[in-house]
Amino acid sequence: MSSMNGVTQKERSMLLAATSISYILVILDSSIVNVALPSIGASIGVSITGLQWIVNAYLVIFASFLLSGGSFCDRFGARRIYMLGLSLFVGASLLCGAATSIYMLLLGRVLQGYGAALLVPSSLALIIHAYEDATERSRAIATWASWGGLAMVLGPLTGGLFIKLFGWRSIFLVNVPIGLVGIGLTLRLVQADVRNRQRRIDFVGQITANVAAVSLIASLIEGPVLGWTSLPILCGAGVFLVSATAFGVAETRSPQPMLPFSLFCNRNFSAIAYMFFVGTLAFFGNLFVLSFYFQEVCHFSALQTGLALFPLSCCVVVGNKITARLVSRFSPRSLMLLGESLKIPGFCGLLLVRSHSDYMYLIIPLSLIGLGGGLAAPMYTSLFMSSVGQAFTGIASGVSRATGQVGSAVGVALFGALIAEARHSETVPFVDRMTITIFIVAALTVSIVLTIRFIVRDVHAMAYRRAEAPVGEARKWST
């Protein structure tokens, strides 16, 4: 195994810039395409179902292959996988921009999703390898996350501007020069890759994990559209159960599993994986409900809804920036506890919609939710990645992103089902169902606070005592 020790400050800055560029592209393509759908449909003649899958094809592949992307980082090196992912993303963006049919566009979106699944875990792994100091690493992760948050905030606005000035193809083609800058910065890094040459590819684990993830996420996305008891959704659920079971059996029997279950013996790894899942479920499920509240109860336009949610999105970025400054003075665990504690009164403040329809009453609750999330999320990642040895940073980063993606899909599906009846019924008030969702997210957030308080340990260097040992060998954790 080689190492990235001896990285200069200039090289770290260059690496952080490169990984931030890639994260911006990934987050932009999660949201920017939504505003282009009408133009795409009119240009190449796409049905409503086709337009939905222009969005969903990217999201499904991205979320489903994160574990594979992470494991490839550990086997072949994060820098190699990062370059491959970014090159694939750039090429796929060019294909999308040149698409003349729905099939060509869908192929480009699938390839973009796979490129993103390689990019995100490799970006995190590169940061972990380059920043050996725990405080500097936490600050770097907060900076990386803030650029993703900024992309989330500005995505729809940027997309609308580009479409108006240059047409819908421009939202894909703009990725090409930006991605090439990222590739150029990465090529200037001369450090050796961290990789485990002895580790074999767990083909059975890869296949079963990918099938399980695709069937689960596709079913969650299409469930509200097709109906939860429809044949395609029931088949998808069956495929998920079979493949997930096969994955579990394969990983316990493999001498070199893709996802060593021994990682979950570490209390920080297990606890924060739970927090990734529950936190994104609550956040994005609540965001989904709020979007419908503003449009169907307050009768806001799509633009007005985006502006109404701006305090939340903007405060996420502000929270990321504050965390980057405070991490040298306060522990990651303290910042996590502060952030999640701020979200509880924020969620409870949304109950004001029962007695006040004026949007002004929601600005402070929305800001608290965004600020709390921005403070806590980078520290989740920092402590989570510190809980494993360098030999497993790739798969750990894949787990952190995959649990978040699945959590957001479950949140949208769960809360979508809760408000579905209210959206189409005059006898079931929407606000009543929204109140239920608020109590759920508040309770989930309380569970996260308790997990941080009583389970998570504020230890930067929790790692395998024998991180370099073969995967199949028994290990003990150092605390």
DSSP string, 349-405: HGGGGGT---GGGGHHHHHHHHHHHHHHHHHHHHHHHHTS-GGGHHHHHHHHHHHHH
pLDDT (0 to 100) of residue 196: 59
Q: Could you read off the pLDDT of 308-334 as tens digits, one per residue?
A: 888 988 899 899 899 989 988 898 999
Residue 23 CA, distance from chain mean position? 10
Best CA proximity match to 44, nearest among 126, 192, 146, 167: 167
Flag whether the pTM goes above 0.95.
no
Whether residue 469 has pLDDT greater than 60: no
pLDDT grade, residue 195 (50/70/90)?
Answer: low
Q: DSSP class of residue 191? A: P
Q: In this predicted model, which residue has the larger pLDDT, 471 or 143?
A: 143
Provide the terminal-to-terminal Cα distance of the chain, rounded to the nearest Å. 24
The rounded distance, in Å, linking the Cα atoms of 412 and 291 is: 11
Contact yes or no for 64/117 (Cβ under 8 A): yes
Render 137-170 in DSSP notation, one character per residue.
HHHHHHHHHHHHHHHHHHHHHHHHHHHHHH-TTH
Whether residue 4 has pLDDT greater than 60: no
Whether residue 450 has pLDDT greater than 90: yes
Whether residue 476 has pLDDT greater than 60: no
Q: Name every residue whose Cβ is closer than 8 Å to that of residue 170 and which is 6 or more positions away in sequence.
A: 97, 162, 163
Which of helix, strand or coil describes residue 178? helix
244, with CB counted inside 10 A (0-12, 13-18, 19+), is: middle
Q: In this predicted model, which residue has the larger pLDDT, 53 or 467?
A: 53
299: left (phi over 0), alpha (psi -120 to 50) or beta: left
Domain covering 262-479, topology: Growth Hormone; Chain: A; (1.20.1250)
pLDDT (0 to 100) of residue 355: 58
For residue 66, the tally of other CB atoms under 10 A from its CB is 28
Mean pLDDT of 398-406: 89
pLDDT (0 to 100) of residue 367: 95
Whether residue 152 has pLDDT greater than 80: no
Q: Could you read off the pLDDT of 215-243 as tens digits, one per residue?
A: 998 888 788 778 888 999 999 999 999 99
Residue 332 CA, distance from chain mean position? 20
For residue 229, the tally of other CB atoms under 10 A from its CB is 8
* CATH 1.20.1250.20 describes domain 1-191: yes
- The residue type at 276: F
The rounded distance, in Å, linking the Cα atoms of 150 and 300 is: 23
Find residue 464's DSSP bridge partners.
Answer: 477
pLDDT grade, residue 426 (50/70/90)?
Answer: low
Q: At what angle do helices 134-166 and 363-386 cross, to 10 degrees?
A: 130
Tokens (6 digits) for 334: 């303290």
Contact yes or no for 181/206 (Cβ under 8 A): no
Contact yes or no for 235/215 (Cβ under 8 A): no
Q: Could you read off the pLDDT of 267-316 as tens digits, one per residue?
A: 999 999 999 999 999 988 888 888 888 877 888 876 687 788 889 888 99
pLDDT (0 to 100) of residue 478: 35
For residue 9, the tally of other CB atoms under 10 A from its CB is 8
Q: Which span out of 1-5, 186-190, 205-209, 460-464 was modeled with the highest average pLDDT?
A: 205-209
Residue 331 CA, distance from chain mean position? 24
Contact yes or no for 418/436 (Cβ under 8 A): yes
pLDDT (0 to 100) of residue 192: 52
Q: Could you read off the pLDDT of 91-133 as tens digits, one per residue?
A: 999 999 999 888 999 999 999 999 999 999 999 888 888 888 8
